[in-house]
A and B are shown apart, each in its own frame.
Chain A
Amino acid sequence: MSTAYSPDQLPAPAHTPVIELRGLTVRHGSVPALNRVGATLQPGTITCVLGENGSGKSTLVSVLSGLRRHDEGELFVAGTPVNFRSPRQARALGIATVWQDLAVAPLLSIWRNFFLGAEPTRGIWPFRRLDVDGARETTVRAMARVGVTGLDPDQPASALQAGERQSLAVARALHFGARALVIDEPVTPMTVARQTLFGQAILAAKAQGLAVVVVTNNPRYAHLIGDRFLLLAHGHVAGNLTRDDVDADDLTALMAGGEQLTTLTDALTALHPELGER
């Protein structure tokens, strides 16, 4: 059941969600990292996943991109139940991921990094070889799309600046994401200009009808680009909201951290009334 998926075998009518989670549970040992999570990711929609550290955001990314199998519940891709055994299967179904650590091998050349795990080949088996020229060209074109030009694709990825590595990870996901994009916000800080470029790329992907998942800690950014907001707390869905339900301040407050901050503010103001005047 879980072998040889291909995007063509799974017809996706417009109203079918690209990805659907029903009662999805993932355990680290006996502790559930995700507990009966349900969500639908529609084509042409940006879903922002918000929550504290340890609320299950990263686990959700791992499940969606095939790194981790779910223990209970069901995961549907275009209406077909799946249980990925490897990110390779998720990628074959057109689900591409920007990993938090960017998943860039520093000693490999840029084009090898771009196609790592999904290399284009030529020829028949014993002589099947990498399509090196095609891979180089595609890499240069895809990198230009996210604003990195004048690139030598044969340079090792360690020659890239931190921001260019982020671009590499995003360009790769945009290239391979035929159906869904999962973006786990990189830990390395982004410049505003680069974030703008990525925002544009994400909106372009949305316009093409991809389901986009953005995992972020920044509720204001989430409100800026998101259509739906999935709030996670301790592995549970704490809220599943649309843009009409909330504004950016609500989102900030709704995040578990926001709740704690309110409590903290109240407690501090009670002890030190002069703080309330600030």
Chain B
Amino acid sequence: MISDRLPSFGHARPAPAHRFLSRALARPSVPAVVVLVLVVVFFWVQAPALSTNAGLAGILDVAAPLGIGAVAVALLLIAGQFDLSVGVMALGSPLLTAMLIGEAGWPAWPALLASLLAALVVGVVNGVLVVNTGLPSFLVTLATFLVLQGTALAGFEVVAGSTQVGGLDAAPGWNSAAAVFGSSAELGGARFHVAVLWWVAATALATWALWRTRFGNAVFASGGARTAARELGVPVRRTTVALFCLTATAGWLIGTLGLFRVESVPLVNPGVGTALDFLVVAVIGGCLLTGGYGSAIGAAVAALLYAVARQGITVAGWDPRWFQTLLGALLLLALVANGVVRRRLKAVPRS
């Protein structure tokens, strides 16, 4: 080998302790975990009822759907794109499912499949628009969000004639679908819903895909170094479209879990609030807005953090509007912390 004769140009490597510290700091989920611990301790003192089984079930009820969306949005953020239409997907897909079952008389499974396909179409449209026009995905998905929100709400009233669809559980296949999306278990006097399992599964799958597959490498490279990724033949466009499909699927899953939970579709508007919440949670979970850095576990932890804070404020009997203040402060903190991390990581040592 040539290496025997070549001089080496390695510089002094940092000492192991220093390296451990910088490695820990390089983990995107660490700040979210630290803040989660602080928030849990704080509300443990302020609202002891939170630490009961019922309190835990309440927290997980909030965290699970939010976490599913946030994990998908985190992957998209790592690839350097936004999706504001997840919330409206979570609103629109159960409306479509309910309409197909209640008005058109479809069995449950085909109706679910049709609404999943519809969500995927929206995802492909979002992705192809972003990839082909080069427009900022923030604006593209804001546009699709508005279009879908209007269509879903107005269209549903036109077709259904009312703002409520009931009697869905009479449809064939409803029971088997309810077992997958709507079952719950009684544990220690509290009711835990299957959405928690979906959330854990989504987080595990996303983490594995990010760190252990070619797709994950493509996601990181598409966000952090798009030119380099293109030069090396990484399928940046295909990866981006796939991720928009993923967030659309996550929206569909959130909506479907909600549909089987209440067995009817109230036309209140949870979509507007949650459209940005997924993004906020993903950023608190350590994703850089510039892409190329973040983790699915961080997003899941941040969803838990969000849920603890929200339930804590409710249980402590405070005005729930304080939650927004807290969330905003956390977001600001996360943005500053992520900025520091980014500068550390991107700083190029001079030779």
**Residues of chain A at the chain B interface (Cβ within 8 Å):** 65-67, 86-91, 97, 99, 101-108, 112, 115-119, 121, 128-130, 132, 144-152, 156, 158-164, 167, 193-194, 197, 200-201, 204
The answer to whether A117 touches B229, judged by C-beta atoms less than 8 angstroms apart, is yes
The answer to whether A130 touches B213, judged by C-beta atoms less than 8 angstroms apart, is yes
The answer to whether A145 touches B3, judged by C-beta atoms less than 8 angstroms apart, is yes
Q: State the Cβ distance, A120 to closest chain B Cβ, in Å.
A: 9
Interface residue B231 (Cβ < 8 Å from any Cβ of A): yes
Separation of A156 and B220 alpha carbons in the complex (Å): 12
Which residues of A sit under 8 angstroms from B350, Cβ to Cβ? 161-162
Whether A148 contacts B220 in the complex (CB less than 8 A), given A129-B212, A200-B2, comes out as: no
Interface residue B349 (Cβ < 8 Å from any Cβ of A): yes
Which residues of B sit under 8 angstroms from A144, Cβ to Cβ? 3
The answer to whether B351 touches A162, judged by C-beta atoms less than 8 angstroms apart, is yes
The answer to whether A162 touches B348, judged by C-beta atoms less than 8 angstroms apart, is yes
Of the stretches B7-15, B30-38, B165-173, the one at the interface is B7-15
Separation of A89 and B234 alpha carbons in the complex (Å): 11
The answer to whether A107 touches B233, judged by C-beta atoms less than 8 angstroms apart, is no
A-facing mask of B4-22, CB < 8 A → 1, else 0? 0011111101000001000
Q: State the Cβ distance, A87 to closest chain B Cβ, in Å.
A: 4
The answer to whether A152 touches B13, judged by C-beta atoms less than 8 angstroms apart, is yes
Interface residue B347 (Cβ < 8 Å from any Cβ of A): yes
- Chain B stretch 335-351: residues in CB contact (< 8 A) with chain A: 345-351
Can you name the residue of chain B whose Cβ is closest to the Cβ of A145? B3
Q: State the Cβ distance, A68 to closest chain B Cβ, in Å.
A: 11
The 9 closest A-B pairs by CB, nearest first: A88-B233, A105-B225, A87-B233, A117-B232, A161-B351, A103-B228, A150-B10, A103-B231, A107-B224
The answer to whether B348 touches A158, judged by C-beta atoms less than 8 angstroms apart, is yes
Contact with A103, one of B13, B208, B212, B227 (Cβ below 8 angstroms) = B227
Question: When A and B form their complex, what is the total count of cross-chain residue pairs whose Cβ atoms lie within 8 Å?
Answer: 138
B3, B11, B208, B231: residue with the most chain A Cβ atoms closer than 10 Å: B231
Which residues of B sit under 8 angstroms from A87, Cβ to Cβ? 230-233
Which residues of A sit under 8 angstroms from B8, Cβ to Cβ? 147-150
Beyond A147-B7, A150-B10, 11 additional pairs, beta carbon < 8 A: A88-B234, A99-B228, A105-B220, A105-B229, A105-B292, A108-B220, A108-B225, A116-B229, A116-B234, A119-B217, A160-B349
Separation of A117 and B345 alpha carbons in the complex (Å): 22
Q: State the Cβ distance, A132 to closest chain B Cβ, in Å.
A: 7
Chain B interface size range: 35 or more
The answer to whether B346 touches A107, judged by C-beta atoms less than 8 angstroms apart, is yes
Interface residue B235 (Cβ < 8 Å from any Cβ of A): yes
The answer to whether B13 touches A107, judged by C-beta atoms less than 8 angstroms apart, is no
Which residues of B sit under 8 angstroms from A105, Cβ to Cβ? 220-221, 224-225, 228-229, 292
Which residues of B sit under 8 angstroms from A150, Cβ to Cβ? 8, 10, 13
Which residues of A sit under 8 angstroms from B292, Cβ to Cβ? 105-108
Whether A130 contacts B224 in the complex (CB less than 8 A), given A86-B233, A89-B233, comes out as: no
Which residues of B sit under 8 angstroms from A91, Cβ to Cβ? 232-233
Q: State the Cβ distance, B11 to closest chain A Cβ, in Å.
A: 6
Contact with A86, one of B1, B3, B235 (Cβ below 8 angstroms) = B235
The answer to whether B10 touches A107, judged by C-beta atoms less than 8 angstroms apart, is no
Separation of A6 and B238 alpha carbons in the complex (Å): 22
Contact with B221, one of A101, A108, A147, A194 (Cβ below 8 angstroms) = A108
The answer to whether B227 touches A147, judged by C-beta atoms less than 8 angstroms apart, is no
Q: 7 A–B contact pairs at CB < 8 A?
A: A67-B231, A86-B235, A87-B230, A105-B224, A105-B292, A130-B217, A194-B9
Separation of A108 and B78 alpha carbons in the complex (Å): 12
Which residues of B sit under 8 angstroms from A161, Cβ to Cβ? 11, 348-351
Interface residue B327 (Cβ < 8 Å from any Cβ of A): no
Which residues of B sit under 8 angstroms from A201, Cβ to Cβ? 2
Separation of A152 and B228 alpha carbons in the complex (Å): 22
Interface residue B214 (Cβ < 8 Å from any Cβ of A): yes
Q: State the Cβ distance, B15 to closest chain A Cβ, in Å.
A: 13
Can you name the residue of chain B whose Cβ is closest to the Cβ of A106? B346
Interface residue B26 (Cβ < 8 Å from any Cβ of A): yes
Q: State the Cβ distance, A161 to closest chain B Cβ, in Å.
A: 4
Interface residue B293 (Cβ < 8 Å from any Cβ of A): yes
Q: State the Cβ distance, A16 to closest chain B Cβ, in Å.
A: 25
Can you name the residue of chain A whose Cβ is closest to the Cβ of B342? A107
B6, B220, B350: residue with the most chain A Cβ atoms closer than 10 Å: B6
Which residues of B sit under 8 angstroms from A118, Cβ to Cβ? 232-233
Can you name the residue of chain B whose Cβ is closest to the Cβ of A172? B232
Whether A99 contacts B231 in the complex (CB less than 8 A), given A119-B217, A162-B351, comes out as: yes
Separation of A117 and B222 alpha carbons in the complex (Å): 11
The answer to whether A117 touches B234, judged by C-beta atoms less than 8 angstroms apart, is yes
Q: State the Cβ distance, A149 to closest chain B Cβ, in Å.
A: 4
B9, B26, B212, B292: residue with the most chain A Cβ atoms closer than 10 Å: B9
Contact with A204, one of B2, B220, B231 (Cβ below 8 angstroms) = B2
